[in-house]
Every structure is written in structure tokens, then in C-alpha cells.
Structure 1
Amino acid sequence: MIPVRKLKSLLILLLATAGHITIAQQKTRLINNWEFVRQDLGGVWEAVRPVTPGNPESLPIWDKVNLPHCFNARDAVDPDVNYYQGPGWYRTTLNINNPYANGRTLLHFEGAGQKTDVYVYTTKVTSHLGGYDEWTADITKAVEDFKKTDVFNKQFKGKVPVEIRCDNSRDLESIPSQLSDFNVYGGIYRYLNLVYVPALSLDKIFASAEVDKAGVLGKLDIKARFYNPGNSQSAQGKIEITDPQGKVIASAPYNLNAINTDVKLAGFQVKKPKLWSPADPALYKVTVTVKSGDQTFTQTEKVGFRNFEFVDNGPFNLNGKRLLLRGTHRHEDNAGVAEAMTEDMMVKEMQLMKDMGVNFIRLGHYQQSRIILNLCDSLGILVWEEEPWCRGGLGGEVYKNQARAMLTNMIEQHYNHPAIILWGLGNENDWAGDFPEFDKAKIHAFMAEQNDRAHQLDPSRKTTIRRCDFCADVPDVYSPSIWAGWYRGIYTEYKKTTEEEFKKVKHFFHAEWGGDSHALRHSENPDNALSKVKTGTGTDERLGDASLVGGAARVSKDGDWSESYICNLFDWHLKEQETMPWLTGSAFWIFKDFSTPIRPDNPIPYMNQKGVVERDMTPKESYYVFQSYWTEKPMAHIYGHTWPIRWGEAGEYKMVKVYSNCDNAELFVNGKSMGIKKRNSQDFPAAGLHWQVTFNKGKNNIKVIAHKGKTTVTDEIDQEYQTDKWDKPAHMVFQKIAEVNGIITVQVKLVDSKGIQCLDAVNWVNFSLAGDGKLLDDLGTSSGSRKVQVYNGRAIISLKTNGGKSVVGVASPGLQSVFINL
């Protein structure tokens, strides 16, 4: 009997010999078997010349890496150095066997930073400028030529060497500006794909899905751009439309005699389409097949029918109903990998956002991975995506041409995503510094040009910018600078300021608000700094406000950076937004802490700490504040899961807050009921779910039981209560507190001369290690940084033992260093 697998192979062979076969399209992520060197080479020959293993003259030394990969996975948050900006080289060898006769072999880059050169052996194939758009290198001819050489079989044993040079060197004539508050990373930090296509294939499909306000009549127009290096003059094929349930609802053939430009293939009407929304992100599938000769190519896109409107001087409507946009922001950055996030990491991050109740996201400040856009489509998260014209002013024609190209690429490459409603033209373009000239009129003119370009490329969506008041008249939607309670003013000024800004433009949105919080740091008096801040002078951010020294009193400089404070700030904003029926929405800055070269003095050096999750996606307490306002699934969270010790006088009343979306909640302290409270969003803080209680000295158990309809949820924590007073830190106590699977966690405590923990200490500490182990540092997290400000008089870090012995030390200015033998 012939095995089934063999029968299938025989069937494929028979079909092939009959001359009509659709060879399975091939797209392979090139992840493994790469080598990398973080420096420049004398030339590409140094990457391919024969070398003798172990020969000390065989320099440089290459490291084995996997893709995606970022130059700056560690040094972006190394407290002792500036992050590397310069060239780096990658190399690999590939088995290339294109199954299509006269087909094309492509390297498809989903993003690489910031200038990239591609080589096959010593032949330069192409270059690309820009770190965030997708692009393709056609290596067909270079591969064919190389296969004809003796080197192909003798040195490379039938494989094809590919070398890629990435360069993130500083360049004033390139965007984004190096003045930007984020790292301009280097490397092949998004997926790289080896793709085989027939001689004629599709480059892009533009699927325009529209529906009237009543949601009754849907229109779907399909245009195509072909990839046709062989100059074929004709093509035929078919289009199929599949509904969200998987049923084919429409199809049409097409026959083309000219394919040199973008071609309309078909138009369809869809009666009463299932509408896309955050609550029900229904996606239709568009499948386009192109046949030329005996070869067939198929491409699939997903679209959604939705109608949106920024009401003149009013709110935002989706599918005819008001929707308050509940948003955040995202940078491509993660602990341990920097920008080289894997698909699994992206899925986890976006699901965390959805679980928090996000229905809108601004992708700042550049085109982001196609994976993120696909997730926004499927999760139901509306999108503002923007080109990376960020800060610095306006350069010359090279600069402007890059901006033109990157705006065009972003719109064309993400045209089909129903999640996108706004194209961002720029960010903080009122920020000078890269050029001797800062001409507002020229910036305005170029902004207007980009605005027109966006509308020409995509008339169905709106344009927007954030914080450039002299360009506020250009885009469809404008977002001014409002940072009430952080850079300027106090958070109770938020509503008044927002109303004033709302009246200045026809279509208003509030992007960027919030503040920094040092994860694991908590405060008994978090709002103390507000008394120092002058009110009534504005709540915008101005030059120098991000500095931790100088200037007027402001919470960003004079506050305690505690999770306690930022929860209050978020809580106030969210409760106010519920009473602003004219508000389109807002997006707080930012979902996740991220690295930045311009904040070396923050409690975690080189980290912007405004996220509600840490850089490794560990939620902070503030995550649950948003969840309590924005989600329907019953939840309850007692503030203080990462606050092991509270302090105060014996018998002093202390507030316990519960963030919950439930109708009511009952709090228990040490088994005794503190009463039932009803949720009321306007009863600040914690929507009325706050209790004044007294704690026992020492251990206390806190539990909440909350009810939403017939559903009951609970939460429980233990906290110590310290009544002992402390003096200034006198020495450090260092100890191992955990060991799991070869990972040891150590903790340092700062205590006074009597051994009492100094719970308000903010001293710097530096961890070090000698021996077989390795510190898990340079992660950009409160517990993953070797240099960090302590939180409530303590700090922790972990290390890999590697099965050996190590000595771990900790130092702090003015205190004696201490060590542990492990």
C-alpha cells in the first residue's frame, strides 16, 4: 500500500507534468543561523572572505544571533554608556531554490534601522533609507549570477551568502530627529522574510471598504498594484469576498491587457454588512488571484466596514453612535530585546491593552509592525499611526523626500486596516534644534503639503498632529499639549484646560497626558508636591520641563514619582472624562515604560517611566485604575500589591483604596468588615471605594469582596504596618530572598543606625557581580537594573547562577558597600 503522503506527492508531480500547477507560495521567516558584528567592516569582502577557524588574524569576531535583532538590546539602558549609534553587519547563507520558472526571489524587510544595504556575496543589491516602513530587495539576478561562480560550490557548498549592513548613525537630514524622546535603534529588528513569487505577482492590494451612516449599504472597491519586472502585458484572475463567518459572499473574474499602473479590478456592494467595532471587530476577507501563463499567485487581505466621524465641535461617532476613545500609546521597545520584539511579545502586549479596556492607540512616533496593525484589527483597537517627522525642525530636500516617502509607504502599506482612522503627520514639530534655521512658515507649508498628500493617498481617513500650535489649522484633528499635574499645573485643572483647548479647533483630541511612576515606590502622602505648584498659568509642557532640575515647581521635578501619586492623577482624569459629553477621547502617555537617551537621571537611568506596565510588561498599580473605568468584566484590585510595608502613627487612620468596576464592595481588615461601599465614579478617589482604617503594628490582612450583578470577585493582600520612626540611612542590609530554577533574587534594604528600614529613602544603589553568575540587568525595570533609585528604602535584582559560585555586591554613595557569597 502506498502511504497517503506519497500519494499526495505523486499527485502533485502528475499535475506539474500536465503544465497547470499552482505552486504553494513560499514565504519563510529568516530567524536562525545569523552572525552579527557591531562595528563597520572595511568592505563587504571582510564578511565573505575565506578564513581559518581559530586564526587570530580572522577579525572581526562575529556573534551568533537570531532575528529579529537590535544593536541596542542592552546598551539602550546601560547606565554607564551612551547607546551605540553606528554600523553593524549581519551575514548568513541560504538555500535558495525558487520553484517558479522565471520567478523572483525577494528579501522582504518588515523594518530595519535606519539605513540598510543588502549584498549577495560581494554584489550590492539595494539600499534603503528609513527604519520603520516595509521594503523588498529583489535578489534574483544577484543569486543567479553567484550560482554561476566557482565560489558557490567550493567555498559555500551550494548555499548563497547574504550580508546586510544596518546603520543608525546620527544624521540631521534623516527622520526622526535625534532630539526625540526615544532611541533611534539599529538592526534588523523586525522580521525578515525570504519570499518566492512568480514572474508576475501582486505588490499591493488596495481594498476600500465603506458603509453609510445607517450601516445598510457597504461598498468595496478593489485596486491592485502588480509586481511585474518581466513587463508582462496581460493578466487574468479572480476576486473573492468572504464574510466574517467564512462564507464566500461575492466573486468576480478580471482580465487585464495593461498592468503598468494601479488598476481597479472590481467593485462590490455588500448589503447590511456586519460592522467592525471595538466590541465586535468583524473582518471580511478579500482574496485576489492573478494568473499569468501556467503560474498563479494569490494574496489575501482583511477589511472591515465601519463609519466614523469627528463631529464638528463635538464628540467622536462610530457607526452612528458616540464612542469615547479610550486610548494609550505604544513604542516598539521591550526589556532584553529593545525594538526586536517577537510576535509572541507583541500579542501579549496588545492583549494586555485590550484587557485593560483600551479601544484606541496612537502608534508613536513612526510606522509600526504589520503584526501590531493586524492585532488592532482583530482585537478592535482604533489606531492613529504617524510618520516619524518628530522634533528638530525641518531639513532640506533629502530630509523632506524621506518624509514624503515614509508617509506614502505608511499609508499604502497599511491602507486596508479597518482599525486605522487617523494618519499622523508629525509630532512636536514646534521643537527646534537640528538646524540653524527654524522657520515656522516653512514648517507650516511642508505640513500642509503632507496633509494634502495623505488625503490624496487616502481620502477615507482623517489627518492629525500633536503639539504644534502654529500648524493647528492644517490637519483635520488637532491635539494640543495638556499635562495637568505633571509638567505644569495640578491635575484638578484638567477639565477646565481641556474645555478651553477644545473650543479653539473644530476637531479636538487629547493625546499625551499622565506622568512618570517608579514601579514599586509608594507613598503615604503622594499629593504633597501639588501644594508647591503654581496654578492658573497653564498645563502645557514647555522647553526644559522634562528636566529634573531648575525652573518653576512642577510635579515632574518636585514630586515623589510614586505609583500612589500617578494613580491619583489617572483616577482624577478618568472620572472627569465621564462628565465631558463633548470629548472625542484621549490617549494617556504611555502603555509601557520605554528607553530614551535624553533621561539619564531618571530613577531608572535612560528610561521614560510613564507606562502603566514596566518594560517587561509587568503591570503597575495604575493598570488597574484604567481597568476599573474601562472594562465590563468584573474586577477588583486593592491598591498596594507591591507595597509590602506601610507606615504611620499607632492608631492613625489610613486610606485603603480598591479599584473596581463592580457595583459595590465590602472591605475586610484582619477579618473585620469595614463596611460596604457603592461605586460612584464622581466620588474621588477610587470611585468611592475607599475606606479609612486603622492597622495593627506588624502584619495585616486586607480583603475585598465585590459584586457586579450576580458575579462576585475578590482580592486579598498582606501588608506590614511600621510605627517605628527612622533617621537617615546609615548602612545597608543585603540578603538573598528567593531562588527558583537557577535564578536567585537578592534585596538590599537601607536602614538607620538603629536598624529601622528607611521607608522614604530614594538613594541610588549600584549592584555588581563577580564569579560564574550573571546579573539580569540592563532590562530597564525597577528590579532589572544594576543602577537604580531605591523604592521605599529597598531594591531588588536577580541573577543567573550558571551552576557556579558568585559574589554579589551593592554600593550606595555615602554608605559602606556590602556583599553576599552565593
Structure 2
Amino acid sequence: MLKAKSLLLLFIAAATGLTSFAQDAGRKTISLNDQWEFNKENGPVEKVTIPHTWNDKDVLDDAAGYYRGMGIYKRKLKLDETAKGKNIFLIFNGVAQEAEVLVNGKSAAKHIGSYTHFIVPISPYLNYKDDVIEVRANNRFNEDIPPLTADFTFFGGLYRNVTLLITNPVHFSQKENGSNGIFITTPQVSASTASVQVKSSIDNASAVNKKVQVITTIFDAKGNTISNQTTAVNINKGGNMVVIQDIKSVQKPQLWSPENPYLYRVVTKIIDPKTKSVIDQVSNPLGFRWFKFDAEKGFFLNDKAVKIIGASRHQDYENRGNATPDALQIRDIELLKAMGGNFLRVAHYPQDPQILEACDRLGILASVEIPVVNTITESEAFTNNCLNMQTEMIKQNFNHPSIIIWAYMNEILLRLKFSNDKPRQQIYFDHVRQLAQKLDSLTRKQDPSRYTLLVNHGAWDIYNKVGLTKIPMIVGWNLYSGWYSGVPEDFGKFLDRHHKELPNTPFMVTEYGADADPRIRSFSPIRFDKSVEYGIKFNQVYLNAMLSRPFVAGGEAWNLADFNSETREETMPHINNKGLLTIGREPKDTYFLYQAYLLGKPYLKITSAQWKDRTGTADSAALTSTQPVQVATNQKSAELFVNGKSLGVKDAVDHIMDWQVPFVNGKNQLRVVSGDQSDQADINFQLQPFKFNDANIPFKNINILLGSKRFYIDEKEHQLWMPDQPYKAGAWGWIGGDPYKGTNNRITYGSDKNILGTDNDPVFQTQQVGIKQFKFDVPDGEYELALYFAELVGGETKEALAYNLDNNHKKEVEEQRIFDVSINGTAFLPKLNLAADFGYTTAVKKTTRITVQNGKGISIDFNAIEGKPVLNAVQLRKIY
């Protein structure tokens, strides 16, 4: 009965906002994620739950930019009498990017930086009656706070967990840059023995000197005590003491590795020597491992050669921005592990504590970096903020065995300043190098046990000239040969160049990738078409090159998942599509390719099953349409069956097998077999007649992309779009004109502009320019016809993406474009002027009904008045 009553009281306390603090190992923590009120500066008040961002929607709309300013969060805090005499703190895991914390209207603390957490002591400001916490968060641009510019969205908000911490006056210090005050190292590790050093920072906030004992115990994974040490200390009132304990008696330690991520637990307690009661207690993970990077032979973990292959990660999630719940964050690391990856580049900023905890637990090696991206400000304040962020990052994450690298710069020479003033530019380069040297020296001093990393983009000469390849212990290269510049085969040449010219410097490929919009497919994939198939070819080349070169320590795909980048346009505006997973964490074919390369167990997957709804034209008069199907595997060969019929055995080439499959109309059952391994999938196929008079394939509807060689899947409206074709008598197609190629020489496929007024940008980003006619030789009947247009040339001139390394961005030459559109000789859209009538890069859809009679079919004519007529897409549906 007493237990039931206690539970009831706890329920009431939670419901009313009252926080009750039972004694638990000397400290108490409780989540404060609920019962917040939020408003933008001078905006309406709403109730929110943490994590929260105010940019989850405005970063995805067609309007340029997003709210960057002040957001105000308020919450009541009701404490009972047991809290008096305690030390009370607020722990903020992440506030973007300038934060001020007020308690009862008084400023308790300020913090700079979106990505490290901070701890605020609030005891002096409390009245223990009707306390109010206020957090003022501001994600405005500030030239003294990195990041200044980057290919990701700078979300605002109180976007990670908030926790209340209550301790006794004597406690592990909360003043150590957001850490828990305990720092663990393993000075000596081997297969036979290991030593541990535990450095504990202890504060005595009481008014009297205190004699205490510090007891550190190491437990194995089963909870057995491995070793312990007790140290008696006397801490002066109001003072701090650092206690160092050396434990040298760990015999035959279980070694931590991706294959066996064995974790010990280090529990450190402050004990009252008289009462033997626990005054404070903190637990940390411990993993025994040793590692090294070798410029000739790559990476070694516990004396075993290990090829690092993994991915980088951004923290945002579909429709949530960066306010991502714990479970979804942990799932990312689980997906990386399931892919066969063994490394996570936590990029381009420290992330939620859950991430590295999951890496420790699952056996994922990691690097972490601060957000010094693209460019710097040459101010003392900027430098100090960078140094402080680096210190916070290291101290807060010091005890994670998964971390082997601390990093501090990414592509810092991508946006070159002072290009027209070489002497001034040299001063800027000197500042960049000096900042890098300061960050590297700070890192080596704070943590000599790990490596330092500076990440460059592929401009070899300038990074060497400025001296940035000489500062870090490891050089990182972000390489996109075959995407932002060149061809995929250039990648291997770059790797060999590093090894030849910097033979004593270990390196990793810290980024590589190609956009793969999961809605886009192609049978003839090319650079910039955004097809999944090009992504497969690209990643095969890169994986082969890295795995075949021992001197390449490893590589991290960019990115684990698609992520928000508000300034991007392209096929999926405001999203970078280089992820192996979608932004909602659905696997792409490229994810399955990595499983085929990396998993140690037999693997067989019909990757094309992701393309579960297809369409295509029948082969001649046949009742089938032949299209390729891909299978990813680590087996030598496999056999594919379609609707029970074998299509033969194929050998894998670079972990991929291809079959030409004759799809029938409707459901197609695929099954692939290799030994004991098998996989199966159902593909729904809409067969289009080779000619409209084919009675065996009745025509229903067709959606055609002009100037395109790619298929597009509109999942929201369940429509399948297919590439165009020149006119074929008895069927359909265009007459006259050429595919749109753009006016800057970089993009050779369609347009990469954001099309306003639609979510189906790929429908409007290609077009036939100079088209004279489009014909459907359909039989008599009633039809609905839709014509799709967008003016792709002209409009607002926007800054070209800095990442496009071979960008020859030229000002577009706008031309007057006026033309008539008629259908079967009747005027439909006279004097159509897309730019003047609708605006540039704006989706235009015009629909009409047509009665076809006397065997005339449908003929759409385009008559030029000025400039060249265009058609972006066409849609035809038979009504009856």
C-alpha cells in the first residue's frame, strides 16, 4: 500500500510540474523537456516540448532564407524543501547558437555555440516557490561564431534535451567545460595487461573544509568488480581539488573493437568517511584498445590492420529539423552498424550524447569536429570561440572509447577571400594557418592519446601552399571526382598523388558521394541526373579504389542520410541527396551496395526492388517490356527467377549483378538464389502499348518527361513518369527540337533550379527546346491532356554553390519566348509567354479534355512567335 501511495504522489508531482528529489547516489537528475512555452521575438506564445526548433518548416518552403533570430523559451520550476541546501544545475545538451539563461528574470549564464552542451548553476537565483526559467536562443548570423557558411541548415532552437541536476555541496565539478568532471585514460594497454588513470575534479561548495574519500571501481560487462582504488582527500571550503588515481592491475583485458565492443564501467564515488554514505557518484564507459595510423599500411586497431569504412552524419531528420528524438538518433548508429560500417565521422559539429554512447556500445570508431567550415573571420573573438568549442568538445566526450580522432576544420579554403588582392589574401591564409596550428596544439595538449585531423577539399595545391597538410597528424580529403568535378576515375589518381607527394602523412577520404534522389531512375545514368543508378556506379569506383590501396586508412561516405541544406535547389530543393539513406532513413540501393561490400556474412539483395512501381513501353508487339534489374551480393554468382522462370546465372561484378527482365503488365514476382541465400520482391508494372492499336495492351494513361532520359516516381500522387522518345507512327513522341542543356557549362543534364509551386521539380527541370509538335496516335475516344511548362532560363541570379569545383557559371542570356500552342488545329494557349505570364522557374500545368474522332489522334502544335517553344512534360489519360 505504501508503494502504491508513493507512486501516486510521484504521478501528482509530475502532473503539476512539482519536482521531488529522492536521494540517489548523492545526486538526482530529471528531464525538463515538458511544459515549455515558446515564442519568436515579438511573436505569439505556443506550448512546446523539447527538443524543439522553430525552423522545421520554413527551411523547406519556396521562399529564400529562414528565420534566424531570437526565440524565447519559458518554464516554471517548482522545487520542494528537500532541494534547499543542495547545488542545483541546468544541463543544456544543445541550444542554437547564442544562449542566455535567466532564472526569475536574472541572467544566470550565457553560452556560445550550437553544438556543445553547457551546465548552468542556478541555486543563487532560486526562491523555491514559483521559479521561472527562461532561455533566450538566437541563431542569427554572427561573424564571430562558427559556422559562418556551410552546406547544411543552421536550425535555431532549444533542440536537445534539458536536464535538472541536483547535487550535494561536495560534488564532481560541473565547471569543467560541460563535462562530468572525470577524465579517464588508459596509459598502457596490451592483450595481457592494462592500466587506467582516473582524474577527478571535485568542488566543495560548502562553507567548511571537507574530508572525503574518492573510490573508483572498475566493473566488467557482467557487473563483476575488476579493480578499485580509494583515495582520502581534504577539500578546502569553496575550493576545488583534482584527484588522480592510477589503477595498474587489470589482467587480460577484454579488448574493445568493432567486432567485440566490450565495455567496462568505471564508477567513481565521493564517500563520507564517517557515515560511509555516498555524497556523489558518476559512471563512465571504459574500453581497452590501442591504435595507430601508418602512412604506408593504413590503420591498425589492437595491432590488427583495419580498413576504416563508414559514413559522416548530420543530425537532422525528416520534417523535424535538428530536433530529433533520442530513439531516432540511436537508430542512425544501428543502421550504420547494420550496413557493415565501422566508422562514424561526426560532422560537421559535435552531436547529441546519445550518438557516441551508441558508438561505444555498438563498436563504431569515431571522429568528432567543431564547425569551422568553408571560411573564417580574422578576429580575436572568432579565434577564442573556436578554441573554446574545441576544448568543450574534447572534455565533454573525453571518455568515449569509440573516439580515436579530434578534428577542427573542414574545407576551410573552399570560399577564398580577397581573390583580387593577393597580398591581402596572403594575410588571410596566414590567419587560417595560425588558427589551425592553435587548434591542433590545443588538441594535442588536451588529449595526447588521440590523433588530430584537418579536412581539405580536393584543391591539392592550395592546401599544400598554405601549409595545412603539414599541421595535423592525419590529413582528410573530401573528394568528389565524377560529381563536383572531373570523372570518377580521377579519384584513384588523387589517392596515389597523396601517397607519392606526402609519403609520411596518413590520410583518409573524409567525404565522397553523388546525389541519388530515390525518386529518380535511369537506364543510362550520367553525372548530375540524380539517379540512383549513377550513385551505384560512383560508389563502386570509390570503394574499389580505397579497398585496393593499403595506404588509404579509410573513407567515410557523404552522407549516412540525406539532410537539410536550405540554400540547395536541384531535384529535391533544400535537401542534399547524397545520403545512403533518405532523410526519413529509408535505405537506398547504395546502402545495399555497402552491405554487399562490407558485411562478413553471406548477403544477397534485389536492390531494384526499391523501384517497386515501374512503367515502360512494350517491346515491339510483345506483351513484355524489357528493363534491367540489379542485385547486390557478396556471393560469386546467383540465379534470377521471374514469375517462376529462370533468367539464368550471372556472376557478380563489383558486388552487382544485372539481368534484363521481360516485365509483364501487372504483378511480377522476382526471386534470386545463391546457395542457401535468397531474396524476393514483387514489382508492379504498368505496360504501355508499343502502338496504340494493340488490343492486347489497352491504353489507360501515360506520363512523359520531355528532354529526359530518366524515370521519375511521384509517390504522393502515385504517378510514374517515363522518358520521352522521338515520334513513332502509331505510337507517340516529339517532333523537332533538342533537350534543354542550360547556359552554364557545368550542368549537362536539365536544370538544377528550384521550380516554384510544386514538389515534383524533376517533372519541370527538363524540357524539349524548339519543339514543333507532339503526337499521340490514339484511337477515337475521350481523353484528358495536360501540358507542363516552366521557363528555365532567367530569373533571379543566385550565387553558385561553392562546392561545384569546375563551375563555369555564366550569366544566363534571357531571350523573349512567345509561342502559340494548338491542339488538333484549334488554338489552346495563344501567345504563351511563360516568364511574363507566370514567372521564371514556376510550375505551369494546363489541362484540357479532347474528343478524338475520325482516326485523327492528338496533335499538339507549337508555333514560334519569338524565341523557341518549349514543353517540359505531357500527360495523357483515357477517360472512355
- Please state how far the C-alpha of 1:478 moved relative to its aligned partner: 0.2
Shift, 1:678, TM fit: 4.2
Q: Give me the TM-score of the superposition, normalised by structure 1.
A: 0.78
- Which of 144, 149, 160 is the equivalent residue of 2:131? 160
Quote the offset at 1:443 in angstroms.
Answer: 1.4
CA distance in 2, matches of 1:480, 1:3: 63
1:181-202, Cα deviation, whole Å (9 max, x unpaired) = 1112211111010111111111
Of residues 587, 591, 611 in structure 1, which corresponds to 2:579?
611
Aligned-pair distance for 1:126? 1.2
Larger CA deviation: 260-269 vs 270-279 = 260-269
Q: Which runs of 5+ in 1 are unaligned?
A: 10-19, 42-59, 148-157, 528-554, 731-736, 739-743, 764-781, 795-808
Q: Give 1:733's aligned residue.
A: none
| Correspondences of 1:489-500 after superposition (within 5 Å) | 489-500=486-497
- Residue 452 of structure 1 aligns with an amino acid whose one-letter code is S
Q: Is the strand fraction higher in 1 or 2?
A: 2
CA offset at residue 698 of structure 1?
3.1
User: CA 1:757–1:225 in structure 2 vs 1: closer, same or farther (change >3 Å)?
Assistant: farther
Q: Does 1:816 align with 2:805?
A: no
Deviations 1:485-543 (A, max 9, x none): 1112211332232121233332111111111111210001003xxxxxxxxxxxxxxxx
Choose which of 529, 553, 557 in structure 2 pairs with 1:588. Answer: 557
Q: Distance in 2 between matches of 1:98 and 1:316?
A: 56
Matches within 5 A, 1:500-519: 500-505=497-502, 506-519=505-518
Contact 1:757–1:793 (8 Å) recurs in 2? no
Residue in 2 aligned with 1:392?
Answer: 375
SS at 2:630 equivalent: strand
* Equivalent position SS for 1:378: helix
1:641 CA displacement:
2.6
After TM superposition, list the pairs within 5 Å mapping 1:115-514 onto structure 2: 115-144=98-127, 147=128, 158-177=129-148, 179-203=149-173, 204-212=181-189, 214-230=190-206, 233-234=209-210, 235-258=212-235, 260-292=240-272, 296-432=279-415, 439-467=428-456, 468-469=463-464, 470=466, 471-505=468-502, 506-514=505-513
Cα distance change of structure 1 residues 277 and 562 upon mapping to structure 2, 3 Å threshold: same
Q: Aligned match of 1:624 in 578, 592, 597?
A: 592
Cα deviation digits, residues 654-679 of structure 1 (max 9, x gap): 43220123343211123221222344
SS at match of 1:193: strand
- What is the distance in 1 between the residues matched to 2:81 and 2:98? 28
Match of 1:551 in 2: none
Tell me if structure 2 keeps the 8 A contact 1:524–1:647: no
- Checking the alignment, whether the CA contact within 8 Å between 2:703 and 2:721 is kept in structure 1 is no
Confirm or deny: 8 A CA contact 2:703 2:720 kept in the other structure: no
Identify if the C-alpha distance between structure 1 residues 728 and 811 changes in structure 2 by more than 3 Å, giving closer, same or farther.
closer
> 1:706 Cα deviation (Å)?
3.1
Alignment partner, residue 773 of structure 2: none
Aligned residue number for residue 533 of structure 1: none
Report SS of the residue matched to 1:75.
Answer: coil
Contact 1:236 1:255 in 2 (8 A): yes
For the 8 Å contact 1:310–1:507, the answer to whether it is kept is: yes
Q: CA 1:318–1:195 in structure 2 vs 1: closer, same or farther (change >3 Å)?
A: same
Do the aligned partners of residues 810 and 288 (structure 1) sit closer, same or farther apart at CA in structure 2, a change above 3 Å counting? farther
Indicate the larger mover: 641-650 or 424-433. 641-650
Secondary structure of 1:491's aligned partner: coil
Q: Residues 524-603 of structure 1 correspond to what in structure 2 (within 5 A)?
A: 524-527=523-526, 555=527, 559-599=528-568, 601-603=569-571
- The aligned counterpart of 2:36 is 34
Query: 1:602-621 CA distances to partner (integer Å, 9 max, x unpaired)?
Result: 21111111111111112222
What's the offset of the Cα at 1:390?
1.3
Between 644-653 and 382-391, report the one with greater CA deviation: 644-653
Q: Distance in 2 between matches of 1:817 and 1:755?
A: 23
Which amino acid in structure 1 is aligned with residue 198 of structure 2?
I
Distance change in 2, residues 1:665/1:398 (3 Å): same
Match of 1:542 in 2: none
Contact 1:224 1:262 in 2 (8 A): yes
Supply the distance in 2 between the matched residues of 1:231 and 1:271 (Cα, whole angstroms): 43
Counterpart Cα distance in 2 of 1:596 and 1:421:
28
Q: Percent identity?
A: 25
Moved more, 230-239 or 319-328: 230-239
For the residue of structure 2 that corresponds to 1:483, the secondary structure is coil
CA distance in 2, matches of 1:383, 1:607: 25
Residue type matched to 2:229 in 1? Answer: A
Deviation, 1:462, is 0.2
User: Which residue of structure 2 aligns with residue 540 of structure 1?
Assistant: none
CA distance in 1, matches of 2:25, 2:556: 46
Aligned equivalents of 1:98 and 1:368: distance in 2?
36
- Equivalent residue letter for 1:816: K
C-alpha change, 1:714 and 1:636, in structure 2 (3 Å) is farther
Larger-Rg structure: 2
Structure with larger RCO (C-alpha < 8 A, sep 6+): 1
Name the CA shift for 1:229/1:377 in 2 (closer, same or farther; >3 Å): same
Question: Residues of 2 paired with 1:433 and 1:583: CA distance?
Answer: 28
Do the aligned partners of 1:655 and 1:690 also contact (CA within 8 Å) in 2? yes
Unaligned 5+ runs, structure 2: 9-21, 174-180, 419-423, 457-462, 692-701, 707-712, 741-753, 767-785, 791-833, 835-843, 849-880
Q: Note the aligned Cα RMSD (angstroms).
A: 3.4
What is the TM-score of this pair, normalised by structure 2?
A: 0.73
